């Protein structure tokens, strides 16, 4: 694949767009060595792709590649389970307890194909009794500051389907 893209990729260290862009997301079939997504512009040029949605033995690991096929982001999923956290709910005169599960996604920059620096972390709460919860995305702080700089993610609905509009707000 010796072709190079002629536009700046959406997912890169230098991308900035002052206007809206219309992109098409195409899902590749899940096979042993494949699966994932390819995002193209209106001219059918690959802007970026997500690999790893179907590789056997590597569950919860995704690689985001730019239009040239270079790996730029490594995303890893972990499931944390809090053992038997009591949720005191009054349901028909009884108390009930439930285990709480949380999915954490961590995104790392890649250097020479290996994850190197944490860029963002995403927490997706999945409590047993509450199925509606917002996804919280935090971006790594710059400098020596210990507090996160931004929180991203606004939930909305369009044509009966949920979507997440990416916007940044200063904390």
pTM, rounded to two decimals: 0.53
Residue ranges covered by each domain of the chain: 1-15+22-69
Q: Are 44 and 50 in contact (CB under 8 A)?
A: no
Instruction: Please state, rounded to an integer, the average pLDDT across all residues of the chain.
Output: 61
Rounded mean pLDDT of 4-10?
Answer: 48
Cα separation, 33 vs 66, whole angstroms: 19
β-bridge mates for residue 106, sequence order? 76, 121
CB-hemisphere CA count at 13 Å for 88?
Answer: 0
Rounded mean pLDDT of 102-124?
Answer: 76
Query: Among 140, 137, 138, which Cα is nearest to 155's?
Result: 137
Query: Among 55, 52, 49, 100, which Cα is nearest to 76's?
Result: 52
Cα separation, 115 vs 106, whole angstroms: 10
pLDDT at 157 over 70: no
Q: Given pLDDT bands bounded at 50, 70 and 90, which one contains residue 116?
A: confident
Which residues have a Cβ under 8 Å from the Cβ of 21 and sit 6 or more positions away? Answer: 10, 41
Q: Are 171 and 148 in contact (CB under 8 A)?
A: yes
pLDDT at 18 over 80: no
For the segment 64-103, what is each residue's pLDDT rounded down to a tens digit?
888 888 888 888 777 655 443 434 344 444 444 444 556 6
Q: Are 11 and 48 in contact (CB under 8 A)?
A: yes
Q: Are 67 and 35 in contact (CB under 8 A)?
A: no
Query: Among 5, 84, 88, which Cα is nearest to 44's?
Result: 5
Looking at residue 164, its pLDDT comes to 47
Looking at residue 17, its pLDDT comes to 56
Which structure tokens are listed for 78? Answer: 């972990």
- Pick the residue with more confidence: 60 or 148? 60
Q: Given pLDDT bands bounded at 50, 70 and 90, which one contains residue 144?
A: low
């Amino acid at each position: 694949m010796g072709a190079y893209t002629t536009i700046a990729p959406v997912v890169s260290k230098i991308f900035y767009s002052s206007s809206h862009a219309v992109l098409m997301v195409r899902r590749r079939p899940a096979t042993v060595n494949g699966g994932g997504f390819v995002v193209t512009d209106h001219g059918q040029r690959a802007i970026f792709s997500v690999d790893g949605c179907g590789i056997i033995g590597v569950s919860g690991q995704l690689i985001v590649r730019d239009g040239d096929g270079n790996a730029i982001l490594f995303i890893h999923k972990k499931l944390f389970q809090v053992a038997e956290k009591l949720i005191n709910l009054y349901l028909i005169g009884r108390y009930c307890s439930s285990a709480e599960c949380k999915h954490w996604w961590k995104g790392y920059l890649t250097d020479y194909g290996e994850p190197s620096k944490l860029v963002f972390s995403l927490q997706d709460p999945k409590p047993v009794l509450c199925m509606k919860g917002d996804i919280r995305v935090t971006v790594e702080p710059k400098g020596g500051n210990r507090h996160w700089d931004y929180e991203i993610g606004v939930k909305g609905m369009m044509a009966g389907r949920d979507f997440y509009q990416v916007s940044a707000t200063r904390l």
